[in-house]
């Protein structure tokens, strides 16, 4: 009888965690382990997708402005400083609210990097996803957009890559012309994307006298949306004290109408009359900041009127993330 030949398995290329594609839960894992996907790399992917980091920008300079640019501001940029300095051939790294074609990042022809903030991410840790995109953009060839992917579960976060001592200074733009240094030579796809984005952008301005407060204009009325760093329960108590005392407005015709909850921070929102500009609200906002600081320092229990005011504010709170 002929001898049976020993069976050998073809060697599979070794894939890193980030390179393993997503497949059906009961299918063989593409990494070649022989196990089903759900019992192999699918387990880490499911955990990463469900493990939500409540404050992804905590520890970064300007955390409140990061939240505003992610959720509230249509068109803005901010220069980023890397902890280890810029790689050779990369003259600058700029954070942008949105990029053309909804790209997560873009390596421009001159080697500079644009990192998009308002993008869908694959895991529950926005900071880790953005750090992965940034690292790949720094390594991409000039003129190359970077596509999204699932970030490695043990990869760095923005807090690991950025210089935490460098200031974070957003610049709000009236449109998205910052996408292209030479709009006349942009591709038709980018031009069309630019036109759509400009048409949808709500006029927005950043106040200069207080931190992370943004005025915006809508057809019906204007608004002030102010991202605040204080613990939510303490802030709501302070706002309730001011609201019950009739001291929560920003001047005649203005009204504190509620708040957003975004990335672990609270964002009080005021309605403003249509004729109230960003400049008009600068002084009232600075005066409100002083009243709020005093209210935050009060440690006594809320009165009945203050509890009712707090309940009204809580009922009008909307979670963005």
Q: What's the pLDDT tens digit per position in 112-146?
A: 999 999 998 878 999 999 999 999 999 999 999 99
Question: Per-residue b/e over 177-203, b at no fewer than 16 CB within 10 Å?
Answer: ebbbeeeeebeeebbebbeebeeebee
Question: Per-residue b/e over 150-164, b at no fewer than 16 CB within 10 Å?
Answer: bbbbebbbbbebbee
Strand blocks (E) in 81-143: 93-96, 105-107, 113-116
State the Cα–Cα distance between residues 125 and 128, nearest whole angstrom. Answer: 5
Q: Are 58 and 264 in contact (CB under 8 A)?
A: yes
**Apex CA 83: angle with CA 104 and CA 177, to 5°?**
35
pLDDT above 50 for 3: no
Question: pLDDT value at position 10?
Answer: 43
Closest CA to 227 of 261, 256, 273, 202: 261
| H or E, element range at 70 | helix 63-71
Closest CA to 227 of 269, 198, 188, 190: 269
Report which DSSP code applies to 30. T
CA 265, chain centre distance (Å): 12
**Apex CA 50: angle with CA 48 and CA 55, to 5°?**
85
pLDDT band at 299 (very low <50, low <70, confident <90, very high): very high
% of residues, the chain, pLDDT over 90: 71
pLDDT above 80 for 193: yes
State the Cα–Cα distance between residues 167 and 97, nearest whole angstrom. Answer: 18
pLDDT above 50 for 152: yes
138 SS3 class: helix
State the Cα–Cα distance between residues 45 and 47, nearest whole angstrom. Answer: 5
CA separation, residue 88 to residues 142, 190, 262 (Å): 12, 27, 36
Number of Cβ within 10 Å of residue 106's Cβ equals 24
Question: pLDDT value at position 24?
Answer: 61
pLDDT above 50 for 100: yes
Report which DSSP code applies to 6. P
Residue partners of 67: CB distance under 8 A and separation at least 6: 57, 212, 227, 262, 263, 265, 267
Q: Are 107 and 144 in contact (CB under 8 A)?
A: yes
Structure confidence by residue, pLDDT tens digits, 205-243: 999 999 999 999 998 899 999 999 999 999 999 999 999
97 SS3 class: coil
């Amino acid at each position: 009888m002929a001898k049976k030949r020993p069976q050998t398995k073809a060697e599979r290329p070794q894939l890193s965690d980030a390179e393993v594609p997503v497949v059906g839960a009961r299918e063989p894992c593409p990494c070649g382990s022989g196990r089903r996907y759900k019992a192999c790399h699918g387990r880490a992917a499911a955990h990463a997708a469900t493990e939500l980091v409540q404050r992804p920008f905590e520890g970064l300079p300007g955390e409140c402005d990061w939240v505003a640019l992610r959720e509230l501001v249509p068109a803005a940029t901010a220069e980023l400083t890397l902890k280890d300095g810029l790689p050779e051939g990369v003259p600058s790294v700029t954070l942008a609210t949105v990029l053309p074609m909804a790209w997560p990042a873009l390596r421009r022809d001159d080697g500079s990097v644009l990192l998009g903030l308002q993008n869908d991410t694959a895991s529950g840790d926005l900071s880790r996803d953005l750090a992965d995109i940034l690292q790949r953009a720094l390594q991409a060839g000039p003129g190359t957009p970077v596509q999204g992917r699932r970030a490695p579960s043990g990869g760095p976060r923005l807090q690991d890559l950025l210089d935490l001592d460098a200031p974070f200074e957003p610049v709000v733009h009236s449109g998205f012309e910052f996408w292209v240094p030479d709009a006349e030579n942009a591709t038709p796809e980018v031009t069309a994307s630019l036109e759509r984005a400009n048409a949808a952008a709500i006029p927005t301005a950043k106040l200069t006298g207080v931190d992370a407060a943004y005025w915006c204009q809508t057809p019906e009325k204007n608004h002030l949306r102010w991202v605040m760093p204080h613990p939510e329960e303490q802030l709501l108590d302070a706002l309730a004290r001011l609201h019950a005392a009739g001291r929560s407005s920003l001047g005649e015709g203005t009204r504190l109408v509620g708040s957003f909850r975004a990335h672990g921070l609270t964002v009080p929102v005021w309605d403003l009359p249509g004729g109230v500009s960003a400049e008009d609200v600068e002084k009232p906002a600075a005066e409100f900041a002083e009243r709020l600081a005093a209210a935050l320092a009060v440690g006594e229990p809320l009165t009945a009127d203050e509890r009712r005011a707090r309940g009204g504010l809580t009922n009008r709170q909307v979670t963005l993330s």
